[in-house]
Amino acid sequence: MTSRAADSISRRASSRVPGAHAMVLGAVLALSTTLGGCGMSVLKHRGDHPAPRSLPGDLSPAERVSEARDQSALAPSDPYWPCRLGELYLAADSLARAEAAFKTALGRDSSYAPALSQLSKLYFGTGRHQEAVQMLEAARSNPERFPDGMPPALLTGLALHYDALDRADLASGVMAAIPRSGRSAAGSSVVYLLLRGSDPDSASDLARSDLNQNPKSAARQNNYGITRLRAGDPSSARRAFLEAIELDPSLPGPYYNLAILEKYYALDDSAATRWFTLYRSRSSDDPDGLGEVFGKSEAKVAEKRNEP
């Protein structure tokens, strides 16, 4: 097949290919990379509070909790220490205590972004998306809380919660409020949301940049592969999906996307069925209805075999 013919097939396929959005499985993963700890660089400690001293590195988890409690009592107006305490509880899987600590931090400063971020992350992990939306929208609705605008990481978290509630329209609206200069700070989460939104092609450059920062991330390889597939470059997409599988064979998304690639771009039903079967052994989700497509193909093959 000539390169011109192959390009023509790719372009025709891209106009009818399913969404290729098996990256759904990466939502929580993406959220965890966006919404980091109480001392993260994206959501800095507010300058109107004294800079917290770090805990000694040789303390046990229980000693760290005790020290954070003591520091919180010594600085009753500073939100950092209850936020840090919540983070320690979160690491220990003590979700109720973590939630209470984050809320204590927000009681001291309702615009303390790290506590909003961590509580949003906790709500995401426990499926409490509506509560997270109410909390983040309340913060967003008061511009005095964020004179320089709500941090992109918090907006991205809000969009992820809307996406989880199947409100892609509201998620897209929140994404539109994130300046392009702030999108790179949110990394994989923004790539995921752009791929899920109404303008998935806009994720291409960001996905490439995100991958360059961590080429050993299977989820980022998968994201990048999706953008290349949508761009009509199945060869690059295949390399990215195969690399993702090599990095993490348990990640279902790349298998699903390879099934789409082989079915609609390479026009190889046998390879597509093989990749979809491998996907099915890892996940029961079927966002683009490939099971029905392959089921019909198998029925036609069986029918032909039974013909006299």
How many CB atoms are located within 10 Å of the residue 212 CB?
Answer: 10
pTM above 0.75, yes or no: no
Q: How confident is the model at residue 173 (pLDDT cuts 50, 70, 90)?
A: confident
- pLDDT, greater one: 36 or 122: 122
Amino acid identity for residue 171 in this structure: A
Q: Is the pLDDT of residue 3 over 60?
A: no
The confidence score (pLDDT) of residue 35 equals 45
Is the backbone of residue 255 left (phi > 0), alpha (psi -120 to 50) or beta? alpha
Lowest mean pLDDT among 74-83, 141-150, 245-254, 278-287: 141-150
- pLDDT, greater one: 164 or 187: 164
Residue 104 CB burial class (10 angstroms; 0-12, 13-18, ≥19): middle
Q: Is the pLDDT of residue 273 over 80?
A: yes
- Mean pLDDT, range 166-190, rounded to an integer: 73
Q: Is the pLDDT of residue 305 over 50?
A: no
Domains of the chain: 3-46+109-294 (1.25.40.10)
Q: How confident is the model at residue 44 (pLDDT cuts 50, 70, 90)?
A: very low
Task: Round the average pLDDT of the chain to a whole number and report it.
Answer: 76
How many CB atoms are located within 10 Å of the residue 280 CB?
Answer: 18
